[in-house]
Structure 1
Amino acid sequence: MLNSRDAGRRRVRWLMLVLLVAAAVATSVWLLWRDEGGVPSRASGKSQAHPSATAARCSPTNLAGVGGQRAAAAWRKVVEPVHQAACAHDFAALARLLGGGRPTNFLTEECTGCTSAEIVAMWREELGFDPAALARLLEVPPVVDQGGLTYERDDMTAVFARGTWQLPGNWSAFFVQCHEDDMCAGLAPSPSGVP
């Protein structure tokens, strides 16, 4: 036979369970909204992130020629987040990764005084940027030199700076249309157009 104390405990447990489930649902909805919300576009105010259902299937990042396992592991920490964001069509993540979070230190097609989100919006709206193309770019062997890694494919170029003891390595440059930019031509160690 249940007494009032047992009935009260059951109600409290039931209420705790309902609150826990409600909190889990609310957190899941918020995370989905945040991840799919993306970065607002400069011109249209539309979301720039695509649901993961539209993400490309990507091969692993190519780190051929970077040195031993330690060097590859260090470069993987720098290149892989950009590759994953491109594969997921996550424009907000790409914006956060520009220049290690400092867009003023990031080289790209001219976008004077632009924020990271505005740079990504420029790539999309003015240059027809497809993040799957960036993912494929990071799957070709890079050119390795003293300054870091340079990936080239078709007309795209991405550069990852080695870093110093003060600053970690980072994604330091990306050109959607390298042939139209003199700065990109100076960065590219070999002719663009690698298939």
Structure 2
Amino acid sequence: MTGTGVTERRTSDRASAAAKLMAGWVALLWALEAVDVLTGHALDSFGIVPREPGELADVVPAAFIHFGFGHVAANSVPLLALGFLAALGGIRRFLAVSLLIVFVDGLGVWLVSPSHTNTAGASGLIFGLFGYLVARGFVDRKLLDVGVGLIIGAVYGGTILFGISPARADVSWQGHLFGLIAGVAAAFVFRRRAGKPGIAAA
């Protein structure tokens, strides 16, 4: 097989792996919400209540819990799209980036969100993946990724700016903001160094 053929095969394999991962991820969110409804919303307790020490255990689980099927539906398409694009760079790198975003975002919500609130959902991860994809090309100095980031910025930029506005009382703008910050930071933490294999090798 020629070098071009090997490259095409690897690209195809990565795309397939990324698609399967994100389809499974979103399916899990829907399954968890179904369980939540069937149990009288018992899973809502895994959301983050700020500044309660015991709630630190929910920093990661909260990213997988939603408040109703409408909440899951609103997050499904952007998570599928942004997650797929991020995972094309390698599954291991994507999982490391996602874990960092979820952890930092959840910790930020725990620290600064208003008292007596309960925050959950994948939107913090979505905002983080947006920040990661926009910043990644510039950090890695890869022209293709810069182009992808600019397109993503054009498509989702307005929504992102609206989502981090404190004027919106019906969403956790704190979670959106910390997710965005964590995503940009992840682009630097997991940047590909010239001449060295990346963490993303799948």
TM bracket, shorter-chain basis: 0.3 to 0.5
Q: TM-score, normalised by structure 1?
A: 0.32
More helix by share: 2
Q: TM-score, normalised by structure 2?
A: 0.31
Question: Which structure has the larger Rg over C-alpha atoms?
Answer: 1
Identify the structure with bigger relative contact order (alpha carbons < 8 Å, sequence gap 6+): 2
